[in-house]
Structure 1
Amino acid sequence: MQLSKAEEQLMQLLWKQKRAFMKDLIDASPEPKPASTTVATLLKRMQDKGFVDYVQEGRSREYFPLIKKKDYFSKQVNGMIKSFFNDDTAQFASFFTQETNLSKKELEELRMIIDSEIKKKK
């Protein structure tokens, strides 16, 4: 299951705040602030998709994420590699390193991360 762009933006705020009332999410949103009806609709959709839930606090609902940010984005990246790069991680790595205009320093940092992961797999 995937989030729409608007849902993902709202989810980013919720991951950052960990727990939030709708008012908190609206306050944390960039200008122009979304209408409360829009945020309520997005939260309901996100709840139906299994991304958020809430606890009732009087007349208000305190929302919290049901999925970790890392898990969501890992799934998205793996899906992109599968669909856009025919499940070929080397093709993805080639595209990523060439098309993102990484500096020599950034490429060296990337190599260090990869080397570290290789050592862990031994």
Structure 2
Amino acid sequence: MLQTLTPSEEEIMQLIWHKGQIYFRELMDIYPEPKPHQNTVSTFLKILVEKHYLATEKQGRIYLYSPSIGFDDYKNFVLKRFLENYFDNSGAELLKVLVDEKYLETKDFEPFTEGNSKKTSLKENIEEENHIQEFIKEITGEKKSKKKDKKEKKKGKKKNK
């Protein structure tokens, strides 16, 4: 199970998720100001390895750090805890606050509403079904008799002579 991250640990993970994998020196170079001391960052990296957020690969005398937990997995973990702690596990309550505080407008929900998506998917399904039916008719339709074709070819040859 994932463990929560402190703000400092999360800041480091954000940088690593953005880069994909990183060496300590690179991390120090891209760390935003005010930069903490190298020992502090090194300690955070060790903690993140212990929490199983980072994997290390030793390359000579240095380590390459890469995320063990994907960013999307972490987002889902944080969102789940957020809903549990602040919204009584109710996504509807969260959405209500987002709309009330004008972070979202009701029109933002149109692509997700059942009626709208069903109409679109129903129309797409009907069109797809028609294409399939036409294809089935084409491949299973009545076959021309080979005997007729041979007879017609013979007639054509006789007419040409």
Report the TM-score range of the alignment, normalised by the length of the smaller protein: 0.7 to 0.9
Aligned mates of 1:95, 1:38 — CA distance in 2: 38
* Structure of greater relative contact order (alpha carbons < 8 Å, 6+ residues apart): 1
User: Match of 1:71?
Assistant: 73
State the TM-score, normalizing by the size of structure 1: 0.84
State the TM-score, normalizing by the size of structure 2: 0.65
| Contact 2:98 2:104 (C-alpha < 8 Å) held by counterparts | no
Gaps of 5+ in 2: 119-161
Q: Give the match's secondary structure for 2:74.
A: helix
CA drift of 1:97 comes to 2.1
CA drift of 1:115 comes to 3.2
Aligned ranges for residues 49-88 of structure 1 at < 5 Å?
A: 49-88=51-90
Bigger-Rg structure (1/2): 2
- For these two proteins, the number of residue pairs brought into alignment is 115
RMSD: 2.0
Q: Give the match's secondary structure for 2:113.
A: helix
Q: Give the match's secondary structure for 2:96.
A: helix
Aligned mates of 2:12, 2:49 — CA distance in 1: 12
1:31 to 30, 33, 47: 33
Name the CA shift for 1:115/1:52 in 2 (closer, same or farther; >3 Å). Answer: same
Name the CA shift for 1:112/1:54 in 2 (closer, same or farther; >3 Å). Answer: farther
Name the CA shift for 1:103/1:86 in 2 (closer, same or farther; >3 Å). Answer: closer
Aligned mates of 1:5, 1:103 — CA distance in 2: 26
AA aligned to 1:115 is T
